[in-house]
Every structure is written in structure tokens, then in C-alpha cells.
Structure 1
Amino acid sequence: MKQKRRITIHQVADEANVSRQTVSRVINNRPDVAPETRRRVLEVIERLGYQPSAIARSLIQQRSYTIGIVTAGLKYIGPSRTLNGITKMAEEMGYGLLLKELHGFKTNNVDPLLQWFLSRQVDGIIWAVPEVGENRDWLKDQLPDLPVPLIFLTMRLQEGLSIVSVDNYLGGRMATEHLIEQGKRNIGHLSGPLDWWEARQRKKGWLDALRDADMEAGDECSSEGNWSSRSGEKAFRQLLGQYPNMDAVFVGNDQMALSVIQIACQDGIKIPDELAIVGFDGIPDSAYYWPPLTTVNQDQYRLGFTAVQTLVETIEAWQQGETDLEPKTVIIEPELSIRESTVSTNQPD
């Protein structure tokens, strides 16, 4: 089949009866074009299906239309879903991606990584690595020397940093308050690794909700996993041993929570009558276990989506010379998906 010929800027100019320079100004949204001329050029562009060359556009505007992404690794469900959102929005906004995986969360030598991105002339960077230990503080020291904007994902709010994050503390409170509303009085917590800021925030939400309700929240009421299903099994066994009166548990992520459901069923514990269970993440699998898992849905796809929007807005401002903008903070509120792991229903035959 004969390949369709690519429409050129010259054809658009001829059809709209304007110069090639005028078409270029319309494409780049320059203000020095009469409204009627702009309307006519845009109509021709749409009718002919003209697509400006990304290479030509970057040369004209001295931009690469490329975003650098530093990720925690795709073995984790959360970062994978966040990257899906980043990819979708970047494509919609006309940006390509350069991806680097940070294998050690606690590394304090990120300069080679930043220089790698800068050597490839990225327009901005999204730092999608969990806040573990002091890894954000090391990076923060290098920000004043960066010639491009950088957005952090999922970290504590800090002055001078642009951050897009889920409210993990609120999610922990929501989960615990829901269990209290179900009449549960001995609510344990199986946390993620507590050197992760997200895990600490979720635990604090659990702790504060219990204290506000004048309920028990001693050391014996919690145990710690590392986000994996296997660690969830071990930490749940530990929690059962040290907190035998537990009638509900808020688990720091869905992967560990699903292993808690499995162990509880194996041990003959009736869910939710004898043990109600809430997870955190909202992964698709959480709806397909029995009983389906009540979970705090943090919408990591939306997190990635919003990060790109926020970064591109900043890039556009920098292109106009506004490099002294106030850092942007966007906090996404999670939602509680209530299912049968906390609300009584008939078990299947």
C-alpha cells in the first residue's frame, strides 16, 4: 500500500495564504498573530492533519520536550502505577521520557545521575523515589545548582521544594476511623518499613485516630513488614502473638493485607466478625480476594498524572524567564473503598 505523504509547513502556509513564519508563530502560540489569521491557520492545520516535527520544534524553542524520571524500581506496584500515569500525561502534553532507576534508596551520591539527565538536555525532572532515611536531604543540597525544575513525589512537605504527594496520614486515619465505626476496639497495625516516610505517616494516622478515641495503642499493638506478602505473613504472626485480643488490623499496604487474609482464613479466623482488615493502595487484586479487601485507594496513576502537569506548568514558566516561582505543593486525598473484609456479609458456599 502506498504510504501517505507527510504534510509540510509549506503546504499549510500555502493553504492558509500566509508565510511559513506565521505558521510557526501560531504553532508556538506566539502573541504577535492576528486572531483571524490564527483561526485560519489552525483550521488548515486540523483539516490537513499537519503534525509539526518534534525535532524542528525543539530547535526553534531551544527545548528538548523531554522529562527525566528517577524511579524506585518497577518491582514495586506503586511506582509502576505512578509511571503509567506519568507516561500517559507526558504523551498527551507532547513530551518524551528518559528513565533511570535508583537501585539504592539511601545513596547520597546523586550528582552523576543528575548530570546524566542534564547532558541529555531534559527540560525538567520528576524524582519518583520514596523518601527513605535522609535521601531527600542529600538531593535538596544540590537543587540550587540545577538549571531545570525538579518535582518530588510522595514526601514530607519542605520549604523550597515542589512536591506532589498523597496524604498518607489522612489515609491511616480514615482506615482506623472506619474500623472504629464498625465497633472494633482492639485495632492493631502492620506497618511498612519505618525508615520510609510513607509508612511512618500511615502509622501516625492509625495512632492518632486511636488516641482521639481513647483506645489502646501500645507497642504490642503493632508490627513491621517490608511491603512484601512474605513479610506480611511473618509480621501478622508476630502481631497475633503479642496482641491476642486484636479484633481488627490496619495493614500498611495491600500486598501485606492480602497475605493477612490468607493466613486468617487458614487459621479459621472469621473475617470480618473476628478480625476486620483494611489495606492501603487500592491495587486491582484487592477486589478479587475473598473476602474482598477494604482498602485506602491512593490513586498512584493520578499521582503521576498530576506530577507531569505540575512540572510542565513550571517548565513553561521558566521558559518565560520566571525562574523565581514559589514552589508548588499538590496534596491528593485518598479514598476509602469499603468491602467485605470490614463489613459483614454472607460467605460463599
Structure 2
Amino acid sequence: MNVTLRDVAKLAGVSTKTVSRVVNNQGELSDATRQRVQAAIEQLDYRPNILARSLVNQRTNTLAVVAWGIDYFGPSRTVLGIEKKSDELGYSLFLSLMAHPDDGHIDRIMGTLIARRVDGIIWAAPEVGANRSWLSTARLDNLPPMVFLSMEARPGLVSVSIDNRHGAIQATRHLIDVGRRRIGLITGPLAWWEARERQRGWQEALQQAGLDPAAAPVVEADWSAESGARAMQRLLERDPHIDAVFACSDQIALGALGVAHQSGRRVPDDLAIAGFDNIPESAFFWPPLTTVYQQLIEAGGLAVEKLHQWIEARRRNDKGAAPEAAVLTPELIVRRSSSRA
């Protein structure tokens, strides 16, 4: 039997309006009345009708997350951060997984989310190719509040990203500081904005040290260890005398380490290697991997906080609230793969 507000009110000896105030934590009630209603709710095992409440309050306390690539380390950790902070703030999540990062069915995706009356949307799919070309201020004005992850900051958008360029500068400068001068690069797929930013940071660090990036070998991989191994083989074929490699993900670095060992190169004595991500396993590579720690869980949580603020601002019709970009600074983690000490 479905227990109703009327059943709770009858048992507690109060009006249905009073029960509604307790359920929705609204209005001023005496502690005695509130406790009596709460006791009746527990005794009858009353469960509020979420759909009915959403119609009355014009909110569902549900956030949509549009994601792709959660089999990769970065996107999966970011979604974990989103889930944790959403639960903390009392939101449920509706996860929409894209078939491809450049999925062109934006209208279909948005139609589904609007039909589900989500309070806001976190666009967690990474920026790949032209998959942000659909964005415009006029279009966003007709959608629920949105926050974007893993993309270049743009005017008029609320976004949260990691400073990939700065992380790459840190890693490359470290390799230079430990005496390396022939520093090859294994990039991620360059259709990804994050991969291009890491390449840019590597280039800038070399230039700042008076080294010519054009003279250093560069090979593109796809974030995986298997592609990292193939890329490392090509890197050594192009320049057998390189003394360091910046790998744009820890999985790429894992493949590169394997090829270095197989070729008889001692790491770090003959060849220093640095990665990017600080995956949990990187501390147990042999040798343990120098890498760049990016705060992915924190970025996901910050996206939820930003979206919550944006939802509340729009609900208050706060014209003074301005979209802004938040950029988190990653941290270099130095281990044995780059240091002879």
C-alpha cells in the first residue's frame, strides 16, 4: 500500500501542509511538531513522491553528465569526482555516454536531457577535433545551466580544466634540470585539445632553455601502452641518441619503458622518462615513474560546485552572475625514472 501525506498527517495529528513543510524543510515549525511528523514518517515508512515534488518545486535535483571515453584514466576519474560532489550536494546523476567524441547528434542528446527535466548539465566529453563547434551563447541561453570540462576556456562559458601546458612545462623543465638535452616527445592523439596543450608546453620549455624543438623527434600515440611502445620504437629509430622522453600519459610511458628495457637502455642512466597523469600504478613501474599529477577528481567536484552556483543564480534571476573559467594547476611528482640519485 502506498503511504500518502494524508496518512502521515492523520497519524501525527497535523495538516497535510505541515507534513509537506517537514518533508521539504520549509517554514517555521516547533521542534515538537517536527519531531512528531518525523516519527510518523518513520513509522509508516513514507517515501516522498520525487516526481510530484519536482513538479511543485520546478527542480528535479538531477544533473546530467554527458561523457565519452570513460575507459580512459582521465575521463573516468573526472566522472568519479562528479559523482562524489553531486552526492554531497544532494543531486542524483543521469549519465549520457556518447558513442564518439565528435558525435553530431547534439540535438538528440539535448532533447533527451531536457525531457528528463535535469537541473543542469556537465559536458564532460573531452574537446576533440571540432566537437565544440555547436556552442553559441544564443543556444546555451535556451538550455539548462551548463559547465564544460576538458576544453579551452571561452568567453560566455563556465568551464573547468587542468593546465596541461603548465604540467608539460614542469615535466620538460625537470628533464632539462637533470642534464638532459635531447628530449623526445610522445604525444597523445593531437585531435585532443589536451594533447596539443601538452605538446605546446614541451615546446615552450625547450625554447626557454635555448633548445630547438624542431630538432627533437616527435611521435603521436593514442594514450595506450601499446601505442606508447610503437611510438618509442619509432622515436629511437629517428634519433638513437635521445637521452630523455616526455610521454604525454603514464600508459604511453609504460609502453616506452618496456621498449627502453628491451633495447638495453638503462632508465634513468641512459634514458630519462617522464609521464603525465600519476595513475596509481605509476609508482610501481620499474623504475617508478616521474609524472605530472592532475587533480581530476577535484576538477569533477569543482564542475559540480560551479554548476550548482550557476543553477541557483539562474533560479534567482541573478543578472550579475558571469560565466567564468576555472583552471587547476597540476603538480610534478619526481621518481626514479628521471633521476640518477
TM-score normalised per structure 2: 0.87
Report whether the alignment pairs 1:274 with 2:270.
yes
Aligned twin of 2:244: 248
Superposition pairs of residues 224-243 of structure 1, within 5 angstroms = 224-243=220-239
Contact 2:59 2:119 in 1 (8 A): yes
Shift, 1:26, TM fit: 7.2
Aligned twin of 1:211: 207
Superposition pairs of residues 125-140 of structure 1, within 5 angstroms = 125-140=121-136
CA distance in 2, matches of 1:63, 1:123: 6
Report whether the alignment pairs 1:159 with 2:149.
no
Superposition pairs of residues 62-141 of structure 1, within 5 angstroms = 62-140=58-136
CA distance in 1, matches of 2:225, 2:30: 57
Superposition pairs of residues 29-68 of structure 1, within 5 angstroms = 33=28, 53=48, 55=50, 57-68=53-64
Contact 1:23 1:41 in 2 (8 A): no
CA distance in 1, matches of 2:85, 2:104: 30
Residue 41 to residue 161, structure 1, CA distance change in 2 (3 Å): farther
Residues 228-278 of structure 1 deviation map (CA, whole Å, 9 limit, x = unaligned):
111111111111121222111111111101111111111111111111111
Aligned twin of 1:335: 331
CA distance in 2, matches of 1:114, 1:207: 39
Residues 199-246 of structure 1 deviation map (CA, whole Å, 9 limit, x = unaligned):
010111111011011013116421111111111111111111212221
Contact 2:183 2:246 in 1 (8 A): yes
Residue 315 to residue 274, structure 1, CA distance change in 2 (3 Å): same
CA distance in 2, matches of 1:52, 1:94: 16
List gaps (5 residues or longer) in structure 1.
1-5
Instruction: Tell me the number of residue pairs that the alignment of Structure 1 and Structure 2 aligns.
Output: 336
Q: Displaced runs of 4+ in structure 1, greater than 6 A?
A: 8-15, 17-20, 38-52
Shift, 1:299, TM fit: 2.1
- Aligned to 2:174, which of 173, 178, 182? 178
Amino acid at match of 1:242: R
Shift, 1:29, TM fit: 6.6
CA distance in 2, matches of 1:297, 1:57: 42
Aligned twin of 2:197: 201
Amino acid at match of 1:196: W
TM-score normalised per structure 1: 0.85
Shift, 1:286, TM fit: 0.8
